[in-house]
Structure 1
Amino acid sequence: MAKRLALTVFILLLFLGTFVLFEAVGTTEVCVTVCYPGELKAEGYSLEDGQIVLKFHTLENSEALREHFEKFEIRCLFCSLDLEKAKVVVNVSGTLLYPAYKDYVMSFDNGRNGKGMHYIASPYNLTSIAEVRIPEGYTFKELKFENNTLQILLSPGGSGGVEVVRSNIIAENQEGLKRGWIKIIYTDGSREWEGRVQTIGGEGECPILIDTG
């Protein structure tokens, strides 16, 4: 009888301890896109001085701007930090980047249905960056701006995809591009077709997304 009672008490305490531990662990999902001139690798995260620090190191540097997307599952055990409101910092090989854009995202991973946050960070001003969708069979050449028209110059050959472009043309004309005041055309020199800007929600500065119309 005593053994059965002791076993029952042990099971109850174990259940209670598991419940308390589960409630004490705060979790949130943080996604980040880093626009960086080089290849990056994620190293994890840390909680420092009321901030969530997302850590990366540089694998190689390049002149071309690349986008690196990473998802972090942030856990906080017995701490007072509000994970959903905490400031996020991106550490790239010791250089701190402060995201200028954030938005809510939905997560369904591992049966989890809830909100997380998506941030975009870069060592450059995000308003000078555009993600340009390149049609199949072409490669990106350059941008030109004249007669209130943004020209996306293409070269034949290639598999298309997305080109991440940093340009003063984008920075100086972003508002007009977003509002449709500026015409966008793709051209390979022999033919041309219209492009358009896709708008995204969220808070703060962000790159613009340009696609074929």
Structure 2
Amino acid sequence: MERIIETEHVNRVFAVSSGEFCALKDINVSIPEGAFAILKGRSGSGKTTLMNIIGALDYPTSGKVRIAGNDITEMSETDRENMRRNMFGFVFQAVSLIPTMNAFENVEFSLRMAGISENRKERVEECLRRVGLAGRMRHMPAEMSGGEQQRVAIARAIAHHPRILFADEPTAELDSVMAAEIVQMFQEITKKERVTILMTTHDTGLMDAGDMLIELQNGEQICQKQ
């Protein structure tokens, strides 16, 4: 199976008032296409830093990051932006829906931003049905629960058919029942949308939900297991 995400000896060092802080130390991960990978670690472990580097939102201080065989650390910023826009989808802890748009319009807006004009209505409806919101398409964010808003954010993130979905602590603000529903949704999305998912979490109750687990501690890779 093709390895869609690979890092090779990735390090990330930040300048701080006392000198330098090494947030990531020699990280080597390998994720096959179509997997649901969970990136585990406590706050400050480096998991968000690693996700940002893999997602082309930041650069490593040293090391390589390959997406579908291409080293994105050698790409121009224009090419990296195109990859973020067309190949990646992002779901964050803060949902950030546009408050003046209903659920349908929020998802459709992402397709407009991606320059997709064909079958937009059908794709938006399909994605909202996929996340269980067939009856809530015309509701505004303020009329929805936190879990429903996160579902809209997920629909928005997969609407343009990304190959990789990055989800940074998407269940952190949800209760355990809603968190389990979101994770189950990710499991279904990997199969039905054929998308690779990398999700960060510190919730020990979600450790066995993915196809593979990568654990970080104090910037170091403790394990990768399937």
What TM bracket, shorter-length normalisation?
under 0.3
Q: Which of the two has higher C-alpha Rg?
A: 1
TM-score (norm 2): 0.23
TM-score (norm 1): 0.24
Higher RCO (CA 8 Å, separation ≥ 6 residues): 2
Name the one with the larger helix percent. 2
